[in-house]
Structure 1
Amino acid sequence: MSSLTAVLYGALIVYLGGWFMGYWMGNFALLLFILTLVTMVYWLAERLRFRPAREAAAAQLEAQAASRRAELAKMGIEKVDGDVAEARRKVLAQPWWLDWTAGLFPVIVVVFVLRSFLFEPFKIPSGSMIPTLLVGDLILVNKFHYGIRLPVINKKIVQNNDPQRGDVVVFRYPVDPRVDYIKRVVGLPGDEVSYLNKQLTINNKPVPTSPLPDFYDEDSLRYAQQFSEKLGAVEHRILIDKDRPSFIPGNHVFPNSSACRYSAEGVSCKVPEGHYFVMGDNRDNSQDSRYWGFVPDQNIVGKAFFVWMNFGNLSRIGSFH
C-alpha cells in the first residue's frame, strides 16, 4: 500500500506541475472529486481493516507481556525490563501512507461539500468588470442561489432562484467550458437586448444611467467615463471609453447567432429560452455576449456576491452589487 500511495502522490504532483507550467488545463472540481473518493477509500480501509488489525496486534502484545510477567512472578522475579506502553504506541501509530490519505479525508470532504454546494472562491483575472471588481479581487460565489448542481458535470438537480437582471454571475465559458468567466446578467430569456452607440436598451426601453466622476484605472493609468446604471433592482457602476467604438466587428458565429443583428452602431439580440445575455461593467473592454453569444442556463456556476480578499487593497473586502 505504501508503494501504491507513493505512485498516486507522484501522479498528483505531475498533474499539478503540468497544470502550473501550462502544459495542460486542469479541472479543480474533478481533481477534488477524485481526491475525495481516493481518501475516502483509504479512510474506510483504515476504520474497517488497518486500525482494527493494529489494535489487535497491540492487544496481543499486551497479553504476551502480561503472560510473561505472570510467569516471571511465579519464579519470584518482580522487576521486568521493557516498556510495553512505548511498544504499544508504536504498534498503534498510523504509517505515513495512511496519515497522508485517510488522515486528510475529513478535511478534503468538508472542502468538497462547501465548494461544490455552498460557496466557491474565484480570483478576478481581468479588468472586464471594473469598476465593480478589480484585477486581483478574491471573491466568493454562492453555489446554491440558483439551485443545487451535481459537482463536475454541473447538472442542476434542485431548482432555486432564476438569474435576474443585474446579477453578477460566474459561468462556464460557452466557447470553452473548462474556463470560468464572470459577467453581469443583462438580458433574460425572451428579452430584446441592444447595445447601440454605447446605450444599453432592453425591450425597447433605455436602461437608466446617470453620470459619475471619472474613474481612474491604476493599471492602464487612464481615466474613463463612469456612470451609474440601474438594471432591474440593481444599481451599479459602469465604465465607458469614449475613444473606442461601440462595437468591434469580427467573426460572430455561435449557437443561436441568427438571433443577433450587427451594425456599425452595435448589436441587437433576442435572447433564446434557457439562455442569458451577459456583459462586463467595463463596457468597452469586455469580451462578452456581444462577441461569443448567449450563456446557457446549464453553464451557470453561481452568483458572485462578496470580495473576501485583495492583497493589494484590503479596503476592497466586502459585498458588492
Structure 2
Amino acid sequence: MVPGDPRTGDRGGTSRLRGAVLWLATGAALLLVAATSGLLPVQPMRVDSGSMAPTVAAGDLLLVRHGQGPVQRGDVVAVTSPLDDGLLVKRAVAVGGDEVAVEDGVLVVDGVAVCEPAIDPAHLDGVWFGPVAVPEGHLFLLSDARDGSVDSRSFGPVPESSLVGTVAARLWPDPGPLPSPSAGC
C-alpha cells in the first residue's frame, strides 16, 4: 500500500501522524533545552533541601522567572550560593538600604516587626540576631525553616548579581502559585 494512494483509501494519515509526533517531540526537546539553559524567561528548578518548609518542600519542582524587576521583601528567590556554585531557594526578607534583625524570634526590618505566617515557631533558632545593614545592590535571605538552615545569617547579604530569579510557581507536586508571604497577617 502506498501512503496517499486513492485506490486503497489511504490518505497518508499514518505518515502524517508520525510526522506530527516527530515535530512535537522535537519541539518539546528544544523547549526543554531552552528552559534549562536560561534562554527562556523562565526555568524549572528542583528543590534539594527542606530549608523553605512548609512553603516549599524538598523535591518540589518550581518555576523560576528571570528579570521581572526588582526583588520585593517577602519574595521567594533562587540565587547562586555564595558558598559554592549550587543554587539556593530562600526568602528575601530585606533589600539594599534596609536594616534587618531578629528580636526575641521576631523578624524586624527598619524597626518594624514583620508578620510571617509561613514561619513555624518550632523551627526558629537564634532568638536574637543583628541588626545588619543591607548594602545597596544586596539581598538578605532567610530560610522559612530557620533552625539549622544556612542563609544570610551565616554568609551575609547576597549581591543581586547572584540572583537567578524569583519563584513564580510550584509545578509539582501541588501546582500553583506559592502562598503570599502576608497571607494570614
| Corresponding residue of 2:41 | 118
- Bigger radius of gyration, 1 or 2? 1
1:196 equivalent in structure 2: 103
Q: Deviations over 1:11-30 (max 9, x none)?
A: xxxxxxxxxxxxxxxxxxxx
| Paired position in structure 1 for 2:115 | 208
Match of 1:239 among 120, 123, 132: 120
Residue matched to 2:63: 140
Alignment pair present for 1:273 and 2:181? no
What do the CA deviations read for 1:46-70 (whole angstroms, capped 9, x no partner)? xxxxxxxxxxxxxxxxxxxxxxxxx
Question: Aligned partners of 2:74, 2:160: CA distance in 1, in Å?
Answer: 16
CA contact (8 A) 1:127 1:285 kept: no
Tell me which residue corresponds to 1:307.
170
Unaligned runs of 5+ in 2: 1-24, 180-185
Residue in 1 aligned with 2:177?
Answer: 319
Q: Which runs of 5+ in 1 are unaligned?
A: 1-103, 146-160, 210-227, 229-236, 248-264, 311-315
Counterpart among 75, 81, 85 of residue 167 in structure 1: 75
Which of 1 and 2 has higher RCO (CA within 8 Å, sep 6+)? 2
Confirm or deny: 8 A CA contact 2:125 2:146 kept in the other structure.
Answer: no
CA contact (8 A) 1:196 1:246 kept: no
Task: Assess, with a 3 A threshold, how the Cα gap between structure 1 residues 292 and 139 changes in structure 2: closer, same or farther.
Answer: same
**Structure 2 CA distance for partners of 1:319 and 1:245, relative to 1, 3 Å:** closer
Q: Which residue of 2 aligns with 1:44?
A: none
From the superposition, tell whether residues 280 and 127 of structure 1 become closer, same or farther in structure 2 (CA, over 3 Å).
same
Partner of 2:8: none
If the length of structure 1 is used for normalisation, what is the TM-score?
0.44
**d(CA) in 2 for partners of 1:290, 1:130:** 18
Distance in 1, Cα, partners of 2:30 & 2:60: 26
Q: For 2:96, what is the secondary structure of its paired residue?
A: coil
CA contact (8 A) 1:240 1:283 kept: no
- 2:17 paired residue number: none
Aligned length: 153
Question: Following superposition of structure 1 onto structure 2, how do residues 57-96 of structure 1 map, counting pairs within 5 Å?
Answer: none
For the Cα contact (< 8 Å) 1:278–1:288, is it kept in 2? yes
TM-score normalised according to structure 2 size: 0.74
Residue 245 to residue 298, structure 1, CA distance change in 2 (3 Å): closer
Aligned partners of 1:240 and 1:284 also within 8 Å: no
Q: Residues of 2 paired with 1:246 and 1:279: CA distance?
A: 12
Q: What RMSD, in angstroms, separates the aligned Cα atoms of the two structures? A: 2.2
Aligned to 1:11: none
SS of match in other structure, 2:161? helix
CA offset at residue 245 of structure 1?
4.1
